[in-house]
Amino acid sequence: MLFDQIASNKRRTWVLLFVFFLLLALMGAAVGYLWLGNVWGGVLTAFIIGGIYALSMIFQATEMVMYMNGAQEIQEKDYPDYYHIVEDMALVAQIPMPRVYLVQDPSPNAFATGSNPKNAAVAATTGLLNMMNRQELEAVMGHEVSHIRNYDIRISTIAVALTSAVTMLSNIAGRNLWYSMGGRRRSSSDENQQGAANVIFLLLSLLAIVLAPLAATLVQLAISRQREFLADASSVELIRNPKGMISALQKLEEGPASKRPVDDASAALYINEPRKTSSLQRLFYTHPPIPERIARLEEM
């Protein structure tokens, strides 16, 4: 059951990444049509921009994320129990020991970052260390170490980069839309057949400009949610204790929301959504509901 769930989540993630690249290509085609006058040139430009965004974020992921969240690196002597649990989980998962960080925040939470297991890092809040017993903390760190082992952080980083690229291309296309429409209206009087095609392409480009950024955000959220299910299951595989993971999730659900400002990119990295607001806003959360995560674990 566990390995079936892991395999299913991996397949779904790759499907979602494929949809991401389709959105990037669609946005590139709109930019190419409106700005470059060449659809395929726009698609190529979009992939180049997406690649540059992804590479730049991958190489700067650890330092950037830790700085954004106010995390401070700690050593074994500072928090020996926390440090040793991370060490044990890394040993079981057969990955290099990640760097260990602490965030001064009474809200219980944790996250992992890094482009690969060799330069990875994990962070926990002071609220998490105060609230969890050893088994629950092992489950949470097993979850974060699983993100590292499964290369989830790299995929999440790429998803953030592609979303940013789609949004930037949408802004470029939007600025050129009205200029393009004016230019094509002036030339349509002696090109009636081409004028009809131009109207269709302009309408399609307008739809891409409006809908592609929203769709990219939703795909990013879906990728993050699938990775959370996978990390929950992988943590159980490491610690051999589903009850520990379930108990940890229940405490995370009951814990207070973070009072620190948390940006969208960082929110996707945490084990639990750090912002707790209205039901409508929860539609755009980066994590599946904890009751649903617990239900999946209980079926294992």
How far, in Å, are 134, 146, 222, 230 from residue 253 at the CA level?
Answer: 18, 21, 20, 19
Q: Which of 231, 284, 258 is nearest to 70 (CA)?
A: 258
Could you give the CA distance from residue 20 to residue 223 in angstroms, rounded to a whole number?
10
| Paired strand residues for 112 | 122
* C-alpha span between 18 and 95 (Å, rounded): 28
State which amino acid sits at residue 53.
Y
Question: What residue has token string 């401070």?
Answer: 72
Amino acid letter for position 124: A
84 annotated as ligand-binding:
no
CA distances from 197 to 188, 235, 261 (A): 10, 54, 47
Is 228 part of any known ligand binding site? yes
The set of catalytic residues is: 144
Q: Which of 108, 111, 110 is nearest to 131 (CA)?
A: 108
**CB 287, CB 273: distance < 8 Å:** yes
Beta bridge partners of 110: 124
CA distance 214 to 193: 33
Q: Is the dihedral of CA 32, 38, 39, 41 positive or negative?
A: negative
For the annotated binding site for Zn(2+), the residues are: 143, 147, 228
For the annotated binding site, the residues are: 143, 147, 228
